[in-house]
Amino acid sequence: MSNFSKRELERYSRHLILPGFGLEAQQKLRDASVCVVGAGGLGSPVLQYLAAAGAGRITIVDFDTVSESNLQRQVLFSTHDVGKNKANVAKVKILALNPDITAIAVTKKLDSSNALQILDEAHIVIDCTDNFPTRYLVNDACVLLNKPLVYGSIFRYEGQVAVFNYKNGPNYRDLYAAPPAPGTVPSCEEGGVLGVLPGIIGCLQANEAIKIIAEIGEPLSGKLLLFDSLTLETNVVEFPDRKQRDSIKNLIDYEEFCGVAPLNNDKDMQEITVAELKALKDSNADFQLIDVREDYEYEICNIGGELISIGDIPQQIEKIDRSKKVILHCRSGSRSSNTIKWLEKNHNFTNLYNLKGGITAWADEIDPSMPKY
């Protein structure tokens, strides 16, 4: 017991008296190094519960900043944190929760050039991301580094949890060998998510991580837990080891693999900046401006465009002019970009332009008084 201070013994007392846990498992937690990729909806509960449990070293990887729309589900943050880097804020918050741990903030974007180095020091990695390129990147890096990976994902009212690469067990590619076609699975921004859902799924991820570190229970290796928040039905399905690890030799271009080209590097995408759009509006130029967000978003703020929500586009193709410049926009440029690609591929449009940065860029550069939604 001398390895723990009196304060630590009091803090972890409920663990220490827990049958099958005790001082030995608590020491394993204290000695553990955990890397949490993503400090958003899933990352918030994961980070809080790992810190509270006494995980000795927690690395937080997130290059994004806190936005107003995050606060509905990302309970680690408050209104005063809007605009700040998530990893930096998360580090401060979990150290305030437990000053006896070590927390490290990595504010750069995880990619093929740095993933192996960033994840190498961790004993276990927790995937709290929200996009397919990063999920495949984290999975492949964990396979190459031989690290167990705790996976979680959410969509609207449903969530998933699994443990990959545990003792050379099945990995993410054994479950999903190939990513879905671009644009077929909406993001949280596009499809929405029930605010409490990431809290539930993130807690399950933290539970799996603690089980693996403390060597208690049976991890969800080779199993996928499915949770429906509307019915509270939970199913666990098994999936086989298809030996996909044999195909992972090195890290690749995951944006290309998933068919998602970064907006700034998409040579086929015609774009227009907010400054250029303002100039067009000021000169009364003849063009069509289409807002592909949802009705409630439009009511919060808009820049005068014609509202055709992304889900209504296929039924309202005739409303899109083919004879002049048409500018599509959303909150950030992501949904409008996907819409343009779909229209160009399926309906042969050649006059479409994406507003770079969307409403957020307009608020930043043209009208700072406007909400960023």
DSSP codes of every residue in 17-66: TSTTTHHHHHHHHHH-EEEEE--STTHHHHHHHHHHHT-SEEEEE---B-
Max Cα–Cα distance, the chain, nearest Å: 78
Two tokens, residue 114: 């740095």
List the catalytic residue out of 35, 188, 258, 301.
Answer: 188
Two tokens, residue 338: 């996907």
> Looking at beta carbons, which pairs linking 294-303 to residues 24 or more positions away fall under 8 Å?
297/331, 297/373, 300/371, 300/373, 301/359, 301/363, 301/370, 301/371, 301/372, 301/373, 302/359, 303/277, 303/329, 303/359, 303/362
**35 is a catalytic site residue:** no
CA distance 155 to 54: 30
**C-alpha separations of 312 from 78, 157, 188 in Å:** 34, 22, 18
List the catalytic residue out of 128, 142, 258, 330.
Answer: 330
CA distance 250 to 180: 21
CB proximity list for 176: less than 8 A, separation 6 or greater? none
Q: Is 237 helix (H, G, I), strand (E, B) or coil?
A: strand
Two tokens, residue 331: 């909150």
CA distance 163 to 208: 8
Residue with tokens 């001398």: 2
Two tokens, residue 164: 């990959």
CA distance 75 to 197: 12
238: β partners: 223
* Strands annotated E in the chain: 33-37, 57-61, 102-106, 124-127, 149-155, 158-164, 223-228, 233-238, 271-272, 288-291, 306-307, 326-329, 352-355
**258 is a catalytic site residue:** no
Residues tagged active-site? 188, 330
